[in-house]
């Protein structure tokens, strides 16, 4: 008897390798950063695991900056000792005295803000990432949804790359030239290069601006589409940044001289290795350029001898722009779908 062979072709269905809807806090999914090192940009916050700064409520994750003096551990930023090992039993970043800071009333103060930063334990190479979130609004707030490499296979930053899905300035007004780059603007950037002072990010940067007085302080979905051939970021499926893999590689695209540090990698190196997803809210630092004109006068400069102190002593100009949980980044869900 002849057999009729029937082949049924099923549609490809992407499998989500990691998803968190934040119905509860799943501590095993994340590393919580504990450090006051300043994030490499001389920021003013200390990242801590305190419930006031990192918590789940009504199916959402909150990453919320608060004043250090509101913590039961500190009532004064001008004097005292901030020993993160003693407080939390862990510290993740030692650079710039990130685990232990002191203040004696003269010069710089302790970090005046506490905030939170989480890193997914899950890492992937190529796929789709979606994060539905509401970014904070308030002066000198700097929310970010971004990725760093798991292994730093090509060396320290920026040799192994960085993918910034979304960054924003929380100020209502941040004028650079004739363009407002405040919370009406969300930015995406790739960082890559052989050294910190040879970072070709300016070749791979773009933003999505809202005009007419509207801003991004609301619920939106921030996405990354990452393959060997391209990296594309979106907000609500509107393209922010598209970087097609250069036909001759990122080394030649960057115009770098010397030995190609990515020659042993894929065609899109350094963006060919597993990356973790990171969410945080920073405060202050070098992200807020001295050449900008803001809704309130910027109380520090990049060259201030004591920028945290200048920021803190001008709190009367910015603290009333932080309206409770409106100053938090609120996250509905994260999903990471490998290709």
pLDDT > 60? residue 13? no
CA 150 to CA 121: how far, in whole Å? 9
Question: Across all residues in the chain, what is the average pLDDT?
Answer: 95
Asked if residue 322 has pLDDT above 50, the reply is: yes
pLDDT of residue 314: 98
Sign of dihedral through CA atoms 203, 208, 211, 216? negative
| Full-model pTM | 0.95
- The H-assigned helical ranges of 258-323 are 307-313
CA 228 – CA 243 distance, rounded (Å): 11
**95 touches 26 (CB < 8 A):** no
Res. 14: pLDDT tops 80: no
DSSP 8-class letter at 246: P
139 and 296 Cβ atoms separated by less than 8 Å: yes
Say what the pLDDT of residue 1 is: 44
Distance CA 64, CA 86 (A): 23
Q: Which two tokens stand for residue 253?
A: 């695209």
Tell me: pLDDT of 145 over 70: yes
Q: Which two tokens stand for residue 45?
A: 């916050």
> Is a pLDDT exceeding 90 seen at residue 141?
yes
Structure tokens at 321: 């722009």
Q: Span 159-172, mean pLDDT?
A: 98
Strand partners, 235: 222, 238
Structural domain boundaries in the chain:
18-338
End-to-end CA gap in the chain: 43
Asked whether 283 and 113 are in contact (CB, 8 A), the reply is: yes
Q: What is the DSSP string of 29-83?
A: GEEEP-B-S-TTTT-SEEE---TTTEEEETTEEEE--EEGGGSTT-S-SSEEEEE
Angle at 271 between CA 270 and CA 277, to 5 degrees: 125
Region 157-184: mean pLDDT is 97
DSSP H or E segment with residue 85: helix 84-88
pLDDT digits (tens, 9 = 90+) for 228-281: 999 999 999 999 999 999 999 999 999 999 999 999 999 999 999 999 999 999
Yes or no: is domain 18-338 CATH 2.60.120.200? yes
Strands, E, within 135-173: which ranges? 141-149, 162-167
3-class DSSP assignment, residue 194: coil
Alpha-carbon distances, residue 193 vs 155, 157, 252 (angstroms):
10, 8, 11
Q: How far apart are CA 179 and CA 193, in angstroms?
A: 28
* Angle at 280 (CA atoms; ends 213, 298), nearest 5 degrees: 55
Cβ-contact 143, 136 below 8 angstroms: yes
Q: Give the count of beta carbons closer than 10 Å to the beta carbon of residue 185.
A: 19
Residue 8 reports pLDDT greater than 60? no
- E strand or H helix at 251: helix 249-254
The SS3 call for residue 250 is helix
What is the predicted pLDDT for the residue at 4? Answer: 44
Backbone angles phi and psi of 297, in degrees to 5: -65, 130
Q: Which among 255, 254, 258 is positioned nearest to 243, based on CA atoms?
A: 254
With CA atoms as reference, report the closest residue to 221 among 204, 206, 240.
Answer: 240
What pLDDT shows up at residue 16?
79
pLDDT of residue 9 exceeding 60: no
Distance CA 209, CA 216 (A): 9
For residues 139 and 301, what is the distance between their CA atoms, to the nearest angstrom?
A: 15
């Amino acid at each position: 008897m002849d057999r009729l062979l029937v082949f049924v072709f099923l549609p490809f269905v992407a499998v989500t390798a990691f998803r968190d809807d934040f119905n509860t806090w799943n501590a095993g999914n994340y590393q919580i950063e504990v450090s006051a090192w300043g994030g490499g940009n001389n920021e003013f916050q200390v990242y801590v695991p305190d419930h006031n700064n990192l918590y789940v409520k009504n199916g959402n994750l909150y990453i919320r900056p608060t004043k250090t003096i509101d913590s039961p551990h500190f009532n004064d930023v001008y004097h005292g000792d901030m020993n993160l090992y003693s407080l939390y039993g862990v510290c993740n970043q030692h650079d710039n005295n990130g685990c232990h800071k002191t203040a004696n009333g003269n010069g710089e103060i302790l970090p005046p803000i506490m905030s939170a930063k989480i890193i997914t334990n899950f890492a992937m190479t190529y796929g789709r990432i979606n994060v539905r979130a509401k970014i904070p609004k308030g002066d000198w707030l700097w929310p970010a949804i971004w990725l760093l490499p798991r292994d730093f296979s090509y060396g320290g930053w920026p040799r192994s790359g960085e993918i910034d899905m979304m960054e924003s300035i929380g100020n209502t007004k941040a004028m650079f030239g004739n363009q407002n780059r405040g919370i009406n603007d969300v930015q995406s950037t790739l960082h890559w290069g052989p050294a910190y002072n040879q970072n070709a990010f300016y070749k791979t940067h773009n933003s999505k601006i809202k005009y007419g007085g509207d801003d991004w302080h609301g619920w939106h979905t921030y996405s990354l589409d990452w393959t060997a051939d391209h990296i594309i970021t979106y907000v609500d499926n509107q393209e922010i940044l598209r970087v097609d893999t250069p036909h001759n590689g990122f080394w030649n695209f960057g115009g770098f001289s010397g030995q190609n540090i990515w020659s042993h990698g894929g065609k899109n190196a350094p963006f060919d290795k597993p990356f973790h997803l990171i969410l945080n809210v920073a405060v202050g630092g070098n992200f807020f350029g001295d050449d900008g004109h803001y809704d309130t006068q910027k109380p520090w400069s990049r060259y201030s001898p004591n920028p945290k102190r200048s920021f803190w002593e001008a709190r009367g100009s910015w603290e009333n722009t932080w309206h409770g949980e409106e100053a938090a980044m609120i996250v509905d869900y994260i999903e990471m779908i490998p290709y």
